[in-house]
Amino acid sequence: MSKNKTKNQKRARIKALHDAQESYSTVPHSFVFNRGQVGKNIGQLVVDMRRAMEPFTAKSLKVRQKNVLKDFVNVAGPLGVTHFLMFSKTTSNVNFRLARLPRGPMLYFNVQEYSLIKDVVSSLKRHRMHDQQFTHHPLLILNNFGMQGMHIKLMATMFQNLFPSINVHKVSLNAIKRCILVNYDPETELIDFRHYSLKVVPVGMSKGMKKLIQERFPNMSKLEDISELLMTGANLSESEAELDGEHNITELPQVYAGRGNMKSQQSAVRLTEIGPRMTLKLVKIEEGLGDGKVLYHNTVQKTEEEIQEMLARKEKQMKLKAERRKQQEKNVAMKKEQRQEHKKKSLEGIKKKQKQLIGEEGDSDAENPGASEEQAAAEISDDEAEYYRQEVGEEPEEDMFPTHSKRKIKGQKSPQPLKKRKRSETRKVKPARADLPKGKRLKRDKEPNFKKSKKAERRTDRPGVPLKGKKGKFKPSFKRKAPFSGKSGGSKPFKCKNKK
Residues 264-309: pLDDT tens digits? 778 888 889 998 999 999 999 998 887 778 888 888 887 888 878 8
Distance (Å, whole) CA 368 – CA 354: 9
pLDDT higher than threshold 90 for residue 323: yes
Amino acid at 65: Q
pLDDT band at 366 (very low <50, low <70, confident <90, very high): very low
**DSSP run (H or E) holding 32:** strand 30-34
* CA dihedral sign of residues 462, 464, 468, 472: positive
pLDDT band at 235 (very low <50, low <70, confident <90, very high): very low
| pLDDT at position 261 | 77
| pLDDT at position 432 | 53
Residues 6 or more apart whose CB falls under 8 angstroms from that of 140 comprise 159, 160, 162, 163, 179, 180, 182
| pLDDT at position 126 | 79
Least confident residue range of 123-127, 237-241, 266-270, 338-342: 237-241
Residues 6 or more apart whose CB falls under 8 angstroms from that of 36 comprise 88, 89
Considering the chain, what is the average pLDDT of its residues? 76
| Half-sphere CA count of 207, side-chain side, radius 13 A | 14
pLDDT higher than threshold 80 for residue 404: no
**Structure-model confidence comparison of residues 491 and 83, the more confident one:** 83
Query: Of 300-304, 376-380, 416-420, 455-459, which has the strongest mean pLDDT?
Result: 300-304
pLDDT higher than threshold 70 for residue 386: yes
| pLDDT at position 211 | 60
**Structure-model confidence comparison of residues 301 and 223, the more confident one:** 301
**Structure-model confidence comparison of residues 262 and 492, the more confident one:** 262
Residues 6 or more apart whose CB falls under 8 angstroms from that of 234 comprise 222, 223, 228
If you ran DSSP here, which 8-state letter would residue 148 be given?
S
Angle at 166 between CA 105 and CA 83, to 5 degrees: 25
pLDDT higher than threshold 90 for residue 28: yes
Backbone angles phi, psi at 413, to 5 degrees: -80, 140
pLDDT band at 242 (very low <50, low <70, confident <90, very high): very low
In 186-293, the DSSP E strands lie at 190-202, 249-251, 266-273, 277-286
Check: CB of residue 72 under 8 Å from CB of residue 290.
no
pLDDT, tens only, 344-363:
888 888 888 888 888 776 55
pTM above 0.85, yes or no: no
How many Cβ atoms sit within 10 Å of the Cβ of residue 438? 4
Where do the domains of the chain lie?
20-218+245-297
CA-CA distances (angstroms) from residue 196 to 15, 41, 141, 310?
A: 34, 21, 11, 44
Q: Is the preceding omega at residue 78 within 30 degrees of 0, hence cis?
A: no
Superfamily of domain 20-218+245-297: Brix domain (3.40.50.10480)
**The CA-based dihedral angle spanning residues 158, 162, 168, 173, taken in that order and rounded to the nearest 10 degrees:** -140
Check: CB of residue 275 under 8 Å from CB of residue 266.
no
pLDDT band at 1 (very low <50, low <70, confident <90, very high): very low
In 169-248, the DSSP E strands lie at 178-185, 190-202
pLDDT higher than threshold 60 for residue 230: no
Distance (Å, whole) CA 405 – CA 374: 8
Least confident residue range of 93-97, 202-206, 297-301: 202-206
